[in-house]
Amino acid sequence: MKKEIHPQYFPNCKVTCACGNTFTLGATVSELRVEICSNCHPIYTGKVKYIDTAGRLDKFKTRMEKSRSIKEGTAKK
């Protein structure tokens, strides 16, 4: 392994989140500032909003039925 090519490793890097949460970890910089962490992320806190896929499916089914009825109406003529 070549010497002098690897960055310096800081085992106690201080990480500060925008929400105010701080913790330490190992990194190649001495201090990090992040916008979001596991303390304020919606998935980890349980505040995630899911898209109502059932409503979309119902809209799709009504469009398909309307399309089928139009096709059947033109086929009978």
How far CA 72 is from CA of 15, 48, 50, 61, 76, in Å, comes to 64, 43, 37, 16, 6
Residues 73 and 65: their CA atoms lie apart, in Å, by 12
Q: Name the binding residues.
A: 17, 19, 37, 40
Q: Name the binding residues for Zn(2+).
A: 17, 19, 37, 40
